[in-house]
Amino acid sequence: MTTATELYARALGLIPGGVNSPVRAMKAMGLGAPIFAARGDGAYLEDVDGHRYLDWVLSWGPLIFGHADPETVEAVVAAARRGTTFGTATEAEVELAAEIVDAVPSVEMVRLVSSGTEAAMTALRLARAATGREPFVRFRGGYHGHADPFLSEAGSGVRTLGIEAGGEGRVVDFNDLDGVERAIDGAACVFVEPVAGNMGVVPPAPGFLEGLRRLCDESGALLVFDEVITGFRVARGGAQERYRVLPDLTVLGKIVGGGLPLAAFGGRADLMERLAPAGDVYQAGTLSGNPLATAAGLSVVRRLTSDVYDELERKGERLDRGLTPFGRFERVGAMATLFVDDYPAVFRHLLERGIYLAPSQNEAMFLSTAHGDEEIDRTIQAVADFFA
């Protein structure tokens, strides 16, 4: 059997940094090779060395029913037997679009794409075209993919690796309405994660999202919610349902694709109809609406009932009670972060005990229906052991 150390040595000669997404590297956590996954089952992940981990990363959030969810796997296999890609329209694309429009309060029309980065950069292009303005406002520590305009002072892996890149946004602090008011004049849009998820989970302050809506209305800017993480996770209709503030455009990803590469952006019909071929804002993708991804997305989204969210909320409250004594614990729905002074040490301690957190303080823990009380209590006890 090939070990992770052997795979990493080989990968370093073939893939920049040995990984295909920077945050998968674990140097910031004081480790050598990253985890090389072999399989997953429910709340557990097994690596190529045979180590079994209780997984709180869940592929960075998409797996709300856990790894290898049988219904999702069955849907994907059935779709694959019919064909993996067609390059033309399918019924499943229409059905998934209908589910999104039904679920997300502000979305009247939606376009399916293949990644959150693609969805975010096109939403920005659309906002610029609709307003005739170029500058935009975004928030320090937020992350909207790796398109150039979004990278300066971004969160998540950019912060973990200490990388800085040029951007075109007017960057202000999250929850700082005064800063937005100073920056918004002449802006095409305000681009925001309604619950910050890439600088750790940071909830919006009371009145913050409402204030953004007001400032956008007053200035003529559009309000864009990046709900790649929060969409279908903090509520079926995302953060906009939970906080009752409606944006003009919404970016979706992760859960909406059921664990396969699929993302989307949508909003008011008058804005979305600016997209080609209906309008003059061009966007295209060979694999957009891929039949395997739409099958997975439909399988997951159609099962996200109020009972599912009630269950996730109960589990989240149990995690709250257990972890709050050990640091600043922030949670919104089924996403949470434990902020501690020496996160790499906590990460290594838990990994040695078979519990896998994100290799970055700036990322969330993600709850799933596959996490039971036993898994939650085991995690709480392992954290308590570290601080004992």
Q: Which of 24, 30, 53, 25 is nearest to 40 (CA)?
A: 53
Q: What is the CA radius of gyration of the chain?
A: 20
Q: What strands, in cross-sheet order, belong to the sheet with 263-267?
A: 109-113, 263-267, 249-252, 222-227, 189-192, 136-139, 169-172
3 state DSSP class of 202: strand
Active site residue 248: no
Cα distance between the two ends of the chain:
38
Q: Which of 378, 374, 388, 372 is nearest to 325 (CA)?
A: 388
Task: State the catalytic residue, choosing from 53, 243, 254, 356.
Answer: 254
Task: State the catalytic residue, choosing from 8, 53, 143, 343.
Answer: 143
Residue 169 · residue 150 · CB < 8 Å: yes
Residue 315 · residue 376 · CB < 8 Å: yes
* DSSP for 93-136, written as a single string: HHHHHHHHHHHSTT-SEEEEES-HHHHHHHHHHHHHHHHT---E
Task: State the catalytic residue, choosing from 47, 69, 226, 248.
Answer: 226
Please list, in sequence order, all residues whose beta carbon lies within 8 angstroms of the beta carbon of residue 350, skipping any fewer than 6 positions away: 356, 357, 379, 382, 383, 386
Active site residue 27: no
Strands 136-139 and 109-113: unpaired
Residue 255 · residue 237 · CB < 8 Å: no
Please list, in sequence order, all residues whose beta carbon lies within 8 angstroms of the beta carbon of residue 374, skipping any fewer than 6 positions away: none
Active site residue 307: no
Q: Is the peptide bond before 277 cis (omega within 30 degrees of 0)?
A: yes
* DSSP for 226-244, written as a single string: EETTTBTTTBTTHHHHHHT
Query: In angstroms, rounded to a whole number, what is the distance separating the alpha carbons of residues 180 and 158?
Result: 23
Catalytic residues: 143, 226, 254
